[in-house]
Structure 1
Amino acid sequence: MKQVLSSSSALLFGVLLLMVGNGLQGSLLGVRAGLEGFSTFHISIIMSGYFAGFLGGSRTTPWMIRRVGHVRVFAALASFISAALILFPVVTHPVAWTVLRVVLGFCFSGVYVTAESWLNNASTNEVRGKALSAYMVVQMVGIVVAQAILSQGDPSGWVLFIIPSVLVSVSFAPILLSVTPTPPFETSKPMTLKRLYKVSPLGCVGMFFMGGVFAAQMGMAAVYATQAGFTLGQISTFIAVIYIGAVMLQLPIGWISDRMDRRVVILVVAFVGATSALAGVVFGSSLTVVLIAAFMTGGMANPLYSLLIAHTNDYLDPDDMAASSGGLIFINGIGAVGGPVVAGYLMGMMGPNGYWVLQAVLMFLVAGYAAYRTTRRAAIPIEETSHYVTVLPSTSPVASEVAQEVAIELAEADDPSTGGETGSITPSV
């Protein structure tokens, strides 16, 4: 890990600042939109804009990088992010905010693609798994720190919009002034969705449903907490707990999934997440129960993303794993675009509980489909399955492909014919 930090410390620090800025704006907008009197439906459209932009950015940025290079793409997109963040309090209209959220989603996606390319280039095969883990941890820490900043500010003023703009602007320096050379940019040709579905129906269906869950958690959590009458400090704590759960439960779930039928793990994890969301509905008047429900839904939903990728890899040759990541991310992105809109509709119909109802329904659907798939084909022997590697839904296709490379390296390390030894590469920390 020391080697990772010494070679990529500037990049990781820059990403930390980016994530604090991104996490702060996402939560702040949910609170500020309520103060501005926007309807729940309008807020849901605004929040959905980010995921639409993110999906478009992940498809467009590779072309931009090949055309003008990493440095120019990173600087240009980060500049747009900084400017957009300042404009939110200037033009307080749902249409303007939706456009700005689309811009933010597009630009953050492009920035992540660029940063992750640099991180991958700076990592050797021996430490790539640890570098990916450090990147994931930095992302989560940034989002949690953002909630602490939100709790100390005034969402009705300007300062909380200026802070993320400054943080994003400052993040340029450690990344662009780093001595790390600009990497060559290559991405795998995506696998067709038809072939991907044929290989892993559960992976595709699960990714679509989970896209809606992630979007609700990332886009509508602050809206829910505001409607539920939480104080600003309680809103910040509620959002932070979601991501803390995501970090703390990744490793135990991943360890279990490498030792039994992964479809059963997906079924159980999705079922636990769904019942936790139902607890938020039934006991929504208790802040303690709501925080536990947030911890558990976040702690179940994020590992499910990695579980579905690992399950899909179980049915792929190593040469096809990287190609599958683009298709899975696209499917997840389509689900994410609609997630806030459906959540907003349900919250408009039944109040704050609609936030929990959407997550419960979607995760019950994942659990039910996983149960169905266990009846359609036999389980793969444990020794022939791929490895679980942590991937977050907030990452770009580059990080997903890096995770696939780590999974392949782990498989090769376990293969006696290659002379490797089990566990020679650490997928997470």
Structure 2
Amino acid sequence: MVQHSVDRSETQSASAAAGRLRSIIAAIACISVVGFSLSLTLPLLSLMLEARGISDTWIGINTAFAGFAALVISPMTTALVRQFGTTRLIYLSILAGCVSLLLLSPAPFWLWFPLRFILTAAITVLFVTSEFWINATAPDHRRGFIMGIYASVLSIGFALGPAVLAVFGSDSPIPFIIAIGALLAAAVPVTMAGGFVPKVEGRARHRLVALLFMAPAATLAAFVYGSGESTMFAFMALWGIRGGMGETQAALLITMAGLGNVVSQIPLGLIADRTNRTLAMAVCAALGFVGAALLPFTIDTPWLIFSIIFVWGGISAGLYTIGLTQLGARFTGADLAAANGLFVMLYALGMIIGPPIAGVAMDAWPGFGMPMAIALFFGLYSAMAFIRWMTKGEPLISPPQS
């Protein structure tokens, strides 16, 4: 009788572990396909507007609606998950995103603003919900490793989107069809997850401001990384060209950062499972500061600047991966969903604040302004995280978790 109980318990445990694994794979697959669709859509929409004769200024204003939508919808996601359920909300968001994309092509330009808002709001909900899903499902002792896999796979998805656009061109309807098809395909792994999708029950016990102060190192990591990454995408190639590089070499600067991101996130996730995460984020930011500060002095040596950007881009991206890992270890249930919403909201805020500051610095201090602006963000954050780790008296090595 005892043996039968043990066998039944082991079977149930194995079944739960298999279900958890299937759930995590489904969430990572879902959001990675969404990331691919997003990375294909963003440059495609800008090229479509340019073909219509829309000025760069208005294209920029329309694109800025993406950041505004993310700021508005992120703090609302927890309530939406609670009201509709995780799976249903994902389906509704996919539907809203596809409808928005379908309407953009024939729509007059003034209608692009509300449609861009709806599209970005839907994608933001997908990111917040999927990251909550992964964080809530991952076991404590492997959370960093799983978040590293998520970040790496997502980076691959982001890299493939522009590649599709480069192959088919913006004049062809194929990239647009692929973007919509990819967004629809994101529903498939969600359906396959079955009943293993986490639910949000009850309300968050803490307001967003309280969550910020409860985990400042983790939440502010999103703001700093959002500032640095968006600045790099906006200005790195232009900075390279103005520094004497050819267009191909300058474009490779961003490519190298992306490759570093893909390669580094799993090792950084493993580090996050074994060391103090606040300290790990402080070190990532410190290396991000050093890497950005070295860029102006290495631009004349291509192999050296490519090597620095490869390492710098990968390690600095650890702020996002380890920050998410820290939230999963710190919060549960509705509070975790709210914290994930805050994380994405601060990332979006960084996207809005970072590039303008870097642009002003670039005009005022050619050659040095842009990398030094990025270095400033990373340096200030690193100092804050180091101080927080030291004042809290936390150990260097994280205690083992079951």
TM superposition shift of 1:187: 7.0
Q: Is the 8 A contact 2:151 2:321 kept in 1?
A: no
TM superposition shift of 1:107: 0.5
TM superposition shift of 1:171: 3.1
Aligned residues: 383
Q: 1:189 to 1:87 in 2, by over 3 A?
A: same
Q: 2:228 aligns with which of 203, 213, 222?
A: 213
Q: Which shows bigger deviation, 348-357 or 334-343?
A: 348-357
Q: Does 1:367 align with 2:382?
A: yes
Q: Is the 8 A contact 2:202 2:334 kept in 1?
A: no
Equivalent-residue separation in structure 1 for 2:37 and 2:273 (angstroms): 35
Structural mapping, 1:102-251, within 5 Å = 102-115=117-130, 134-155=149-170, 158-176=173-191, 179-180=194-195, 184-186=199-201, 189=204, 191-192=206-207, 195-196=210-211, 199=214, 202-203=217-218, 206-217=221-232, 230-231=247-248, 235=251, 238-251=253-266
* Cα deviation code 1:48-90 (max 9, x no counterpart): 4323322333322333344444455333322332243355565
TM superposition shift of 1:338: 2.2
Equivalent-residue separation in structure 1 for 2:365 and 2:104 (angstroms): 29
Q: 1:30 to 1:222 in 2, by over 3 A?
A: farther
TM superposition shift of 1:22: 1.3
TM superposition shift of 1:126: 9.2
Q: Is the 8 A contact 1:245 1:298 kept in 2?
A: yes
Q: Is the 8 A contact 1:48 1:338 kept in 2?
A: no
Equivalent-residue separation in structure 1 for 2:373 and 2:216 (angstroms): 22
Q: 1:187 to 1:213 in 2, by over 3 A?
A: farther
* Cα deviation code 1:188-245 (max 9, x no counterpart): 61634665565555556555433322433466667878998635x974x554433332
Q: Is the 8 A contact 1:26 1:219 kept in 2?
A: no
Q: Does 1:64 align with 2:80?
A: yes
Q: Is the 8 A contact 2:218 2:278 kept in 1?
A: no
Matched AA of 1:57: I
Q: Is the 8 A contact 1:262 1:311 kept in 2?
A: yes
| Other structure's SS at 1:382 match | coil
Q: Is the 8 A contact 2:133 2:197 kept in 1?
A: yes
State the TM-score, normalized to the length of structure 1.
0.66
Q: 1:175 to 1:326 in 2, by over 3 A?
A: closer
Equivalent-residue separation in structure 2 for 1:320 and 1:72 (angstroms): 17
Q: Which shows bigger deviation, 55-64 or 253-262?
A: 253-262
Q: Is the 8 A contact 2:241 2:250 kept in 1?
A: no
Q: Is the 8 A contact 1:17 1:168 kept in 2?
A: yes
Equivalent-residue separation in structure 2 for 1:348 and 1:114 (angstroms): 39
Matched AA of 2:247: F
- What's 1:381 paired with? 395
Equivalent-residue separation in structure 2 for 1:16 and 1:311 (angstroms): 21
Larger Rg: 2
Identity in percent: 21
Could you say which structure has the higher helix fraction?
Answer: 2
State the TM-score, normalized to the length of structure 2.
0.70
Equivalent-residue separation in structure 2 for 1:368 and 1:298 (angstroms): 19
| Other structure's SS at 1:162 match | helix
Q: Which shows bigger deviation, 211-220 or 127-136?
A: 127-136
- What's 1:77 paired with? 93
- What's 1:25 paired with? 41
- What's 1:404 paired with? none
Instruction: Extract unaligned runs of 5+ from structure 1.
Output: 387-409, 414-429
Equivalent-residue separation in structure 1 for 2:127 and 2:263 (angstroms): 23
- What's 1:423 paired with? none
TM superposition shift of 1:143: 1.5
- What's 2:353 paired with? 338
Q: Is the 8 A contact 1:192 1:327 kept in 2?
A: no
Equivalent-residue separation in structure 1 for 2:152 and 2:279 (angstroms): 27
| Other structure's SS at 1:249 match | helix
Matched AA of 1:230: E
Q: Is the 8 A contact 2:152 2:266 kept in 1?
A: no
* Cα deviation code 1:337-393 (max 9, x no counterpart): 323443455566667976534322211222343455567x2632335x46xxxxxxx
